Amino acid sequence: MPLTTIAGDIIADALIGGVTYPRLTPANAHIGVGDGTTAFAAGQTDLQGTNKVRRAMNTGYPTRTNNSITLQATFGTEDANFDWNEWGVFNSSSGGNMFCRKVESLGTKTNSATWQLSVTLTFNVS
């Protein structure tokens, strides 16, 4: 998955022990969903849809195994009831930085359902 431009800054800052950007900790990490269909561009700083909602991590997330990070959030019956066409990973409940964004149709959530979204980011060096 391609990362946003700011993600490169976040990673470089973390590698030298910097504190410029909030980390993807259980307190800061959020998954956002939206109804936007605009193609991904590295310079984007937020989801592109008209409707968008961020949710905090479920208990125990995010996790890390070797070069992969797994994040998971639950969207309750009152949350994000629209077409899910995009999702992203953020380091804040609002504002903050969008680490990555994926455009894909995940279906239409209604107020009769609770959905859980799990995201695994794997970092490879080539």
Within 10 A of 48 (CB to CB), how many other CB atoms are there? 19
Closest C-alpha to 56, from 86, 30, 18: 30
pLDDT for 4-55, tens place per residue? Answer: 999 999 999 999 999 999 999 999 999 999 999 999 999 999 999 999 999 9
Q: Give the global pTM.
A: 0.94
- Residues of the chain with pLDDT > 90, as a percent, come to 91
* Range(s) of the domain holding residue 55: 5-122
Domains in the chain: how many in total?
Answer: 1
Is 47 exposed, middle or buried, given 0-12, 13-18 or 19+ CB atoms closer than 10 A?
A: buried
